[in-house]
């Protein structure tokens, strides 16, 4: 090896970046520091866009939403120990929502593990409850295979969060350039996600059975969720709904697969639709708390469920009348083909269709009457109506709406109108608050042609408000609207005299300004922030721990 010139050696950081780039990764979210700063720089030099956040939690939420919007795993890069722990928020959110994501964390030197090394943590153990697959690269030569495995696993079957552990000693090992190239190529050629279609073939008999049930139903309903949105099944769904005339109900993030304004939309008659339907075709949505577990009293006890899901375990868990395991887009394509041979369509005058449409119209006009009022000081409805109309005024592509908060999200779900697929991101399956800013950043980079509009409660916004600076740094087209009632659930109802006053702020650039700000602030004993402007050229990477980088 002594004859090899040093410039032909590449280290673990470069090999990680090369491997992800070869897998087609174009974005990475995260927070750099020891031992992954160089990894991020290498990724950037290979054309991967690195979005630097203030906290791994928000960056992780961004990675999870990016996975949902693009169908490719969102990447989160974190430092070891505390960085990894903060990142668990994003990883677990990806798991709960069934979105593809990969968290990559640096970890301490393998020879120092167990001796109290800098930011030491058994990260493989820590991520276990929150990931579907995890792997540690124990040697530089493992890196390309580990990268391909986490990418494959994140998107295979039910999507979810995966974890890649990169010990700092492995990041500093080297291989020759040709060796690196052949390792990356071999790993990439073994990748499943680039070649094998996702999911199994659904037997024809099952498709026939599903169509037969729908055909014979007196009160059929089609329910779809964010799994169908992830599968990009919008065209097949529209065809199914429009050829059969069956009313449909989207889940909150299923909204927009078909426009909320469609004449067969049953959202405004939700209780009637789910309470009275006799056959429900549920596509890419779990019968969990959001759908009342598919049980009485919300659903009729005799309803026959046909579940379409990529995940066999999900179908076994719910024990539906009929379960079709497969990709939503493919299953619906087959279903449409089967119907085409012997078409059926409920007339607009069909009692079930008429009952739903009548109820929906009644509820919509009741809501519109409330919305029409200009109530000041604002309730939740008045500003929501104004925002709805402004969003509807944006020409296609429609904005992506990000929504969180308790009242703000509930009211927004009913009032805001979704007309395009994957155009709504909210607290989701886990009811996660604090996702808003991360989702905004993910949406803006995943879909650069779209405006992003966040409608946030002040509490949800507050979880990650500092990421507003990230929006500004990258100049992203995001409008954040905060419904501010000054508190969680309800606002601060004290009288103005009881509230002791705002924050005092100082911007200081000279010794005298700093001395005077400190003197005032120390004696006032009130909430104060002193912003001390430092020369951007002062300071070194990683402070005094440069040897660890
Ligand atoms: P929602 O919150 O909209 O009700 P859920 O997250 O509960 O949706 O359910 C989504 C379901 O979609 C999950 O059970 C997941 O396994 C499933 N799913 C994910 N990808 C696909 C796909 N390509 N085809 C069919 N189902 C899918």
pLDDT digits (tens, 9 = 90+) for 244-300: 999 999 999 999 999 999 999 999 999 999 999 999 999 999 999 999 999 999 999
Q: How far is CA 224 from the centre of its chain?
A: 18
Write out pLDDT tens, residues 309-330.
999 999 999 999 999 999 999 9
Quote ipTM for the complex.
0.99
% of the chain at pLDDT higher than 90: 90
Instruction: Look at ligand 1, atom 20, and give the residue with the nearest C-alpha.
Output: 227
Torsion sign over Cα 310, 312, 314, 316: positive
DSSP annotation string for 482-511: EE--SSSSS---S-TTTS----EEEEE-SH
Burial of 396 (C-beta count, 10 Å sphere; 0-12/13-18/19+): exposed
> How far, in Å, are 211, 266, 295, 321 from residue 275 at the CA level?
22, 12, 10, 17
Q: Are 387 and 402 in contact (CB under 8 A)?
A: no
Helix axes 328-341, 204-216, angle to 10 degrees: 70
Kindly state the tokens that stand for 342: 């012997």
Instruction: Look at ligand 1, atom 19, and give the residue with the nearest C-alpha.
Output: 227
Distinct helix (H) and strand (E) counts, the chain? 21, 19
Distance CA 196, CA 192 (A): 6
pLDDT exceeds cutoff 70 at 5: no
**First and final C-alpha spacing in the chain:** 25
Strands 49-52, 27-30: pairing kind: parallel
Q: What is the pLDDT of residue 221?
A: 98
Average pLDDT over residues 507-536: 95
Distance CA 480, CA 130 (A): 30
pLDDT exceeds cutoff 60 at 6: no
Q: What is the pLDDT of residue 501?
A: 74
- Sequence-ordered alpha helix ranges (H) in 168-281: 168-172, 177-189, 204-216, 226-230, 234-244, 270-276
Residue 376: count of CB within 10 angstroms of its CB? 8
**Whole-number CA gyration radius for the chain:** 26
pLDDT exceeds cutoff 60 at 188: yes
Backbone angles phi, psi at 95, to 5 degrees: -65, -50
Residues in contact with ligand 1 (CB, 6 Å cut-off): 97-98, 158-159, 225-227, 230-231, 251, 253-254, 284-286, 288, 290, 308-311, 314, 327-328, 429
Average pLDDT over residues 366-390: 97
Name, of 185-199, 227-241, 501-515, 518-532, the range with top average pLDDT: 227-241
The H-or-E segment that residue 379 falls in is: none
Instruction: Look at ligand 1, atom 5, and give the residue with the nearest C-alpha.
Output: 285
Write out pLDDT tens, residues 430-478.
999 999 999 999 999 999 999 999 999 999 999 999 999 999 999 999 9
Write out pLDDT tens, residues 42-88.
999 999 999 999 999 999 999 999 999 999 999 999 999 999 999 99
Q: Are 443 and 29 in contact (CB under 8 A)?
A: no
CA 513-517-518 angle, to 5 degrees, is 120
Instruction: Look at ligand 1, atom 6, and give the residue with the nearest C-alpha.
Output: 97
pLDDT exceeds cutoff 80 at 3: no
Ligand 1 centre distance from Cα of residue 302 (Å) = 24
Longest dimension (CA), the chain: 86
Write out pLDDT tens, residues 192-223.
876 444 556 889 999 999 999 999 999 999 99
% of the chain at pLDDT higher than 70: 95
Write out pLDDT tens, residues 90-122.
999 999 999 999 999 999 999 999 999 999 999
């Amino acid at each position: 090896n002594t004859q090899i010139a040093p410039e032909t050696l590449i280290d673990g950081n470069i090999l990680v970046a090369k491997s992800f780039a070869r897998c087609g990764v174009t974005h990475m979210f995260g927070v750099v520091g020891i031992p992954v700063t160089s990894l991020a720089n290498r990724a950037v030099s290979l054309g991967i866009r690195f979005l630097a956040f203030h906290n791994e939690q928000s960056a992780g939420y961004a990675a999870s939403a990016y996975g949902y919007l693009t169908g490719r795993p969102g990447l989160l890069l974190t430092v070891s120990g505390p960085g990894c722990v903060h990142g668990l928020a994003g990883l677990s959110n990806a798991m709960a929502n069934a979105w593809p994501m990969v968290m990559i964390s640096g970890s301490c030197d393998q020879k120092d593990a167990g001796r109290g090394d800098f930011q030491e943590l058994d990260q493989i153990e820590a991520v276990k409850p929150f990931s579907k697959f995890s792997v540690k690269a124990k040697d530089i030569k493992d890196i390309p295979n580990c990268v391909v495995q986490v990418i494959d696993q994140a998107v295979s079957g039910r999507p979810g969060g995966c974890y890649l552990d990169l010990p700092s000693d492995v990041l500093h090992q080297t291989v020759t350039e040709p060796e690196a190239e052949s390792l990356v190529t071999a790993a990439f050629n073994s990748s499943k996600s680039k070649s094998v279609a996702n999911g199994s073939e659904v037997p024809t008999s099952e498709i026939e059975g599903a169509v037969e049930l729908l055909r014979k139903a007196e009160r059929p309903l089609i329910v779809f969720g964010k799994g169908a949105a992830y599968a990009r099944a919008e065209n097949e769904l529209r065809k199914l709904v429009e050829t059969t005339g069956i009313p449909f109900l989207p889940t909150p993030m299923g909204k927009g697969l078909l426009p909320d304004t469609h004449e067969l939309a049953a959202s405004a008659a939700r209780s009637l639709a789910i309470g009275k339907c006799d056959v429900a075709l549920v596509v890419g949505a779990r019968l969990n708390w959001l759908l009342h577990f598919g049980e009485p009293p919300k659903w009729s006890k005799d309803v026959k469920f046909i579940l379409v899901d990529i995940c066999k375990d999900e179908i076994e868990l719910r024990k539906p009348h009929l379960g079709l395991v497969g990709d939503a887009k493919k299953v619906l394509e087959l279903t449409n083909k089967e119907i085409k041979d012997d078409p059926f369509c409920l007339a607009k005058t069909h009692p079930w269709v008429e009952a739903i449409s009548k109820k929906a119209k009644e509820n919509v006009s009741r809501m519109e009457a409330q919305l029409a009022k200009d109530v000041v000081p604002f309730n939740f409805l008045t500003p929501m109506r104004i925002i709805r109309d402004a969003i509807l005024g944006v020409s296609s592509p429609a904005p992506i709406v990000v929504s969180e908060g308790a009242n703000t999200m509930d009211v927004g779900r009913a009032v805001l109108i979704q007309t395009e697929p994957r155009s709504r991101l909210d607290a989701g399956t886990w009811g996660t608050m604090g996702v808003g800013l991360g989702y905004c950043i993910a949406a803006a980079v995943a879909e650069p042609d779209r405006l992003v509009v966040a409608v946030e409660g002040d509490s949800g916004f507050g979880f990650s408000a500092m990421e507003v600076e990230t929006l500004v740094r990258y100049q992203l087209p995001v409008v954040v609207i905060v419904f501010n009632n000054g508190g969680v659930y309800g606002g601060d109802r004290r009288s103005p005299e009881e509230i002791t006053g705002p924050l005092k702020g100082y911007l200081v650039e000279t010794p005298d300004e700093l001395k005077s700000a400190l003197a005032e602030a120390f004696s006032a004993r009130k909430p104060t922030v002193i912003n001390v402007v430092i020369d951007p050229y002062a300071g070194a990477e990683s402070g005094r721990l440069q040897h660890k980088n």
